[in-house]
Structure 1
Amino acid sequence: MTATLTTVLQAIALTLVGVLAVGTVLVRDPLRQVVVYSLFGLALVIAFATLMAPDVAIAEVAVSSIAVPMVLLPVIYVTRGGGRG
């Protein structure tokens, strides 16, 4: 029973990763794309956790959910004219 539940959770997590990957590519607005990319990163964290790779999941949290948006959001702000100083 536990193996079946794990397999189902893995299938759901990988399906979510696939859907959000396509969504990240299809979103045209850079600000929204950063948000969808962050959700994609969180889906990868869930997938890695269900695949028993906690070290990779922790690294993925740091990179895709924290570091990349912290770099991209100020760049989007400045390039859209918000940082006229």
Structure 2
Amino acid sequence: MVRYLPLLLVLAVIVWALVECLQTPSTEVRALPKLVWVAVIVLLPILGAVAWFVAGRPTGHPGGGGSGRTLSRPMGPDDDPDFLRRL
């Protein structure tokens, strides 16, 4: 069982890179078009996955997760500077 662990880890990184590449909007992909990144990850699995994480992934990944986009959440009145100025 232990001898299969490196293979499973490599496979997990490749799948992670491929899924993240497919979910990333085309406008946020760096260096190459999205379709080319998918081909690189599939045809050169280990090298392609590493290249995606280094050069193709959008910037702004805090801690390696998320998509780098900021979601606008509703603010409470005490977090809104305009509201506090009006008091």
TM-score by structure 1 length? 0.40
Higher relative contact order (CA 8 A, sep 6+): 1
More helix per residue: 1
Structure number, greater radius of gyration: 2
TM-score by structure 2 length? 0.40
